[in-house]
Structure 1
Amino acid sequence: MPQEKLNNTKPHQVAVDVISNLNSQIDTLPTRERKVAGYVQNNLESISSMTIAELARVCDVSTPTVVRFCRSVGCEGFREFKIRLAQNLAVSLQYLVVDSHETQRSDAGNIDQIIGALSATVNIMRKQVDHAALSQAADLLGQARSVVIGGVGGGASMLAEEAANRLFRLGIPTIAVSDSYLLQMRAATLHASDVLLLISASGEANEMLSAAEIANGYGASTLAITRSGSRLSEVAQTAIALDLPEDPDVHKPTASRYAYLVIIDALAMSVAQSQSSQTTENLRRIRASLTAFHGRTGPQPLGD
């Protein structure tokens, strides 16, 4: 019986990228389904307001053909197809519209664009940052028995690693966590003298909110570097909240991560200055151990 129940269990439903399925399968679809596919490709934004009968009529096919088309691209029927398409469009439209003013690739021009975006974003951050929150965060980090830094996703996980890289040099036991389950587990081990620092550009990731609530429940201090007005900025006890613009050019890496790095460096510098003698000795010992390891005594970054 247990085996029979297992075999009858409905498999986990994975996310369906109907736009990708449509583009990859259109040439292999039966002729009448291909008529539906062609219309959908050219009218992506209007499908959500159409009924199955309306779509069938404009494509000059039957409603069963529309249903067969929906199943061909991974959906149970027209209703699910419309939902999946709307979800895809919500995040994909900016990648589907080609900029008619697209410029030719230029390495020198790209460098200038990246530097320009970096400078503009950091200047916006400079005007927004709450210095009282920054000071409070630095005080909590400097007094912490240990610090867990959470960052889930591409940019946030990199920033969490860099924050841990900055703080352990100052003599603070620090670990970066990018696994969502492990983040919950680490948060549950924290006490009143510990700090949970969460980094999230959206401030809406459920794993971040859950970790903050767990740490709050056990009396730990919770800090967040995140978007202003987000749920995480409200749940964290101390929030360095920013509202940074993103460049509409999807080919350009986000510049906001540079602003987050400036915040991280400012926190590390404040902690280092508040514990100058201990920090200096830690950095000296680190440099001495590396010199003994690789033998190089020439100029190197002093903060590293």
Structure 2
Amino acid sequence: MSCLLAIKNNFEQYTSSEKKIAEYIIENPSEIYKLSTSELAELTKTSTASVVRFAKKLGYEGFQELKIELARENAINSDIKEDYGYIDTHDSVKDIILKIGRKNMNIIEETVKLLDEKQVGEAIKAILNARKVYLFGVGVSGLIAMDLQHKLLRINKNVQTHMDSHMQMSLAALTTSEDLAIAISYSGRTREVYNCLSEAKKNGAKCISITKYGSNPISEISDIRLQVSGIEKDIRVGAISSRIAQLTLIDILFVGVAKENFDVVEKYLKATRRMVSDLKIKK
């Protein structure tokens, strides 16, 4: 993972001093190589010790090593504008098209870099082996759960979710050790989803979480942790980037499941497509 992406994705885990340092680096990545430890500490109103601790938390020996890595990344990405995602009230329609388009492309690229191949493979295997798959998510994440349910139903998987969170809690109570529970929450801190996954875990079900990158309560109680890029701001315009990242992961899981027994899956897909094809308006 790139250094700058790691700084963004781990932002919520930093102390108040570390957040000041992180914000300065994120806003001025091309300027960091010019600064000494004490200069960065002064600019961020922190201390040299805080700067060194911040670098070590990212896995570097010290600030000098962090500077070198940021300079290397900046040289590679010098022709790419980092922040296309923040919409301004004065933006034209063209600006919005370019910003949202670039933001979505970036979030997909970053999510692909973040995904752990082994964890994704285990998740696919868990879906294939489960007696029944239960999906938990509310709000936008509930819509992501519905999308996965739709995909899995089309290939004849026994899968269930519900848009009502109380109904999801009832479903969680019915899980067994033969089942799979998938919790979807961008923040990883949604109370209803956490409660559902906790109940499923207590009942012996295998648990998968889909959250943003970094430590969070939902991923911590999961057997398999799938994490997408976590650079969405807390105040969001329709949860744009997080939704795109989660949908990308859902598509990866679906294709991974479908390819394992494609001859049979193809028959299911053709059968379900045939049932709705006559509903299309013909010219």
- 1:157 equivalent in alignment to 2:142: yes
Partner of residue 95, structure 2 = 109
What is the TM-score of this pair, normalised by structure 1? 0.60
Q: Name the aligned partner's letter for residue 270 of structure 2.
A: R
Report how far residue 253 of structure 1 moved.
Answer: 4.7
SS in 1 for 2:161: strand
1:224 matched residue in structure 2: 209
Aligned pairs (5 A) from 1:1-304: 102=88, 104-153=90-139, 155-227=140-212, 228-247=214-233, 250-251=236-237, 253-291=239-277, 293-294=278-279
* Cα shift readout 1:145-196 (whole Å, capped 9, x = no counterpart): 221111112x111111111111111110222223222222101111222111
Shift of 1:243: 4.3
Contact 1:223–1:237, Cα closer than 8 Å, also in 2: yes
Amino acid of the structure 2 residue aligned with 1:183: Q
RMSD, aligned α-carbons? 2.2
- The AA in structure 1 aligned to 2:248 is V
The C-alpha deviation readout for 1:226-262, integer Å capped at 9, x for no partner, is 1331011011111102341025885575312101100
- The C-alpha deviation readout for 1:34-66, integer Å capped at 9, x for no partner, is xxxxxxxxxxxxxxxxxxxxxxxxxxxxxxxxx
SS at structure 2 position matched to 1:232: helix
Amino acid in the other structure paired with 2:126: L
Cα separation, 2, equivalents of 1:294 and 1:263? 30
Number of residue pairs aligned between Structure 1 and Structure 2:
196
Which residue identity does 1:202 align to in structure 2? S
Q: CA deviation at 1:108?
A: 2.1
Q: Unaligned regions of 5+ residues in structure 1, if any?
A: 1-100, 299-304
* Residues 122 and 132 of structure 1, relative CA distance in 2, 3 Å threshold: same
Name the SS for the 2:231 alignment partner: coil
1:110–1:186 distance in 2 versus 1, CA, 3 Å:
same
Q: Is contact 1:144–1:172 with CA below 8 Å preserved after alignment?
A: no
CA pair 247-190 structure 1, distance change in 2 beyond 3 A: closer
Structure 2: how far apart are the matches of 1:212 and 1:146? 15
Identity %: 23
Residues 240-292 of structure 1, C-alpha deviations (whole Å, 9 max, x = no match): 0234102588557531210110000000000000111221010011122223x
Q: Which amino acid aligns with 2:199?
A: I
Q: Deviations over 1:64-94 (max 9, x none)?
A: xxxxxxxxxxxxxxxxxxxxxxxxxxxxxxx
Task: Give the letter for the 2:249 counterpart.
Answer: I
CA distance in 2, matches of 1:186, 1:249: 31
* Rounded Cα–Cα distance in structure 1 between residues aligned with 2:118 and 2:193: 23
Alignment check: 8 A CA contact 2:107 2:229 kept: no
Amino acid at match of 1:108: K
1:180 corresponds to which letter in structure 2?
A: S
- State the AA in 2 paired with 1:232: I
- Name the CA shift for 1:249/1:295 in 2 (closer, same or farther; >3 Å): closer
The alignment partner of 1:197 has SS state of strand
C-alpha contact (below 8 Å) 1:144/1:195 kept by paired residues: yes
Q: TM-score, normalised by structure 2?
A: 0.64
**Amino acid of the structure 1 residue aligned with 2:160:** I
Structure 2 equivalent of residue 75 of structure 1: none
Which residue of 1 is the match for residue 21 of structure 2? Answer: none
Distance in 2 (CA, whole Å) between partners of 1:251 and 1:211 is: 27
Distance 1:212 1:248, change over 3 A: closer
Q: Which runs of 4+ in 1 moved over 4 A?
A: 247-253, 295-298
AA aligned opposite 1:256: S
